[in-house]
């Protein structure tokens, strides 16, 4: 912007106020996602307590209930966790009797995770958790599906590099 004499002028006050609002914590998408994630984890806590599971343990069980016998690497990829985070979690779960960890006979470098009978039985009790969470959220199926699709789209955008503009 320039003044009538051609000298540069400062941006209008409205622009600086907009910039200030843009930098407000409650205007940040990252913070809204962070706070929502914390709230979601907190909401799951009383639902998982009767099962003896923490939220991260519940996620591991969900993956294993879909396909038992995965490697630590496969679990990490499915949950977006590195082995340094996942290994202690799996050790605690093995101590609790829900799963076992053993070397893959075809490749000793890989550790396979198998559900125990107790881990398999836990699935029946866990079936009530998603239903209870859906009731707690008070969302209809269409709203739930739309939110999930929006979040998956955001995740995909963040994980793929931006395409150069021609």
Tens digits of residue pLDDT in 109-141? 899 999 999 999 999 999 999 999 999 999 988
**For the chain, how far is it from start to end, CA to CA, in angstroms?**
28
* pLDDT for 2: 44
CB within 8 A of 52, min separation 6: which ones? 96
In a domain, 8, yes or no: no
In a domain, 14, yes or no: no
- How many whole angstroms separate alpha carbon 59 and alpha carbon 28? 27
- How many whole angstroms separate alpha carbon 140 and alpha carbon 134? 8
Task: Return the CATH number at 121.
Answer: 1.10.10.10
Segments in 29-140 forming alpha helices (H): 29-48, 55-66, 72-79, 83-95, 117-126, 128-137
What's the whole-model pTM score? 0.82
Q: How confident is the model at residue 17 (pLDDT cuts 50, 70, 90)?
A: low
In a domain, 13, yes or no: no
- How many whole angstroms separate alpha carbon 151 and alpha carbon 160? 14
DSSP 8: B
| Residues of the domain holding 93 | 37-156
**Is pLDDT larger for residue 163 or for residue 117?**
117
In a domain, 1, yes or no: no
In a domain, 12, yes or no: no
Q: Torsion-angle region of residue 24: left (phi > 0), alpha (psi -120 to 50) or beta?
A: beta
In a domain, 119, yes or no: yes
Query: Does residue 1 carry a pLDDT above 60?
Result: no
* pLDDT for 3: 45
Count: domains in the chain: 1
In a domain, 31, yes or no: no
In a domain, 9, yes or no: no
Q: How confident is the model at residue 24 (pLDDT cuts 50, 70, 90)?
A: very high
* pLDDT for 112: 94
- Burial-class residue 11 by CB neighbours within 10 Å (0-12, 13-18, 19+): exposed
- How many whole angstroms separate alpha carbon 77 and alpha carbon 96? 23
User: How does 25-59 read in b/e, with b if 16+ C-beta sit within 10 Å?
Assistant: eeeeeeeeeeeeeeeeeeebeebbeebebbebbbb
Q: Round the average pLDDT of the chain to a whole number and report it.
A: 89
Which range among 18-22, 86-90, 136-140 shows the weakest confidence by mean pLDDT? 18-22
């Amino acid at each position: 912007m320039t003044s009538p004499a051609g000298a540069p002028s400062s941006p209008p006050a409205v622009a600086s106020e907009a910039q200030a609002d843009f930098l407000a914590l409650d205007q940040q998408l990252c913070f809204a996602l962070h706070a929502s994630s914390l709230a979601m984890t907190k909401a799951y806590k009383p639902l998982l307590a009767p099962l003896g599971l923490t939220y991260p343990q519940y996620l591991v069980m969900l993956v294993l209930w879909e396909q038992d016998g995965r490697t630590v690497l496969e679990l990490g990829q499915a949950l977006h966790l590195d082995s340094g985070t996942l290994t202690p979690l799996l050790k605690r779960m093995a101590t609790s009797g829900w799963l076992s960890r053993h070397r893959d006979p075809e490749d000793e470098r890989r550790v396979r995770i198998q559900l125990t009978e107790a881990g398999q039985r836990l699935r029946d009790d866990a079936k009530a958790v998603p239903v209870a969470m859906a009731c707690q959220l008070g969302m209809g199926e269409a709203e739930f599906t739309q939110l999930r699709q929006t979040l998956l789209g955001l995740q995909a955008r963040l994980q793929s590099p931006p395409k150069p503009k021609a």
